[in-house]
Amino acid sequence: MEQKPVKRLNRELKHEGNILKIYEDTVDANGHLAHWDFIHHNGAAAVVPVTKSGKLLMVRQYRNALDRYTLEIPAGALDSPDEPKLDCAHRELEEETGYKTDKEKLEYLLSVNTTVAFCDEAIDIFVARELEPSKQNLDEDEYIEVEEWEVSDLEQKIYRGEITDGKTIAAILAYARKYGVK
């Protein structure tokens, strides 16, 4: 099937929040005028922190959009659109888990676009080893519990539908596959 071009005719900012900009795009889609929602996000970084014993450090935190606590890998938004994602990952590791490592020891694992139908958020995910205790540095409105988990137990939580965060699922499964962890 031949793909017909989609042409954006207009983009209008409808709302600007703390981390998102919401637009209405007017497009010519296959010869039809359409209005599509578009959400811009400056990007984020995440970390798979691996302890000396091979367990993963996970964070449990409340997520307003789901109205529940979730178990995730540590992650956070870029402080500015031009912040290197490696710097963001390095910062978020210590802020959320209370552990740190040298920035040079963070290894790129993969990139994830979280919601391709209407949002351009892109998250780079890194693996952190040789962790050293430090201290959490949470935002005033954050409460995060740090937990150690075996990869196999996290995989089971994914397959039972108990972990539903896309970046976390991708990171755990990619980490397990890349490094042969069971």
Contact 81, 43 (CB under 8 A): yes
Query: Annotated catalytic residue: which of 83, 140, 148, 150?
Result: 140
User: 24 with 12: CB under 8 angstroms?
Assistant: yes
Q: Do the Cβ atoms of 112 and 72 come closer than 8 Å?
A: no
Whether 83 is catalytic is no
Tokens standing for residue 119: 């949002």
For residue 152, the one-letter residue type is S
Q: Which of 86, 88, 70 is nearest to 78 (CA)?
A: 88
Distance, CA of 129 to CA of 85 (rounded, Å)? 17
CA dist list (Å): 176 to 2, 170, 182:
38, 10, 7
Active site residues: 140
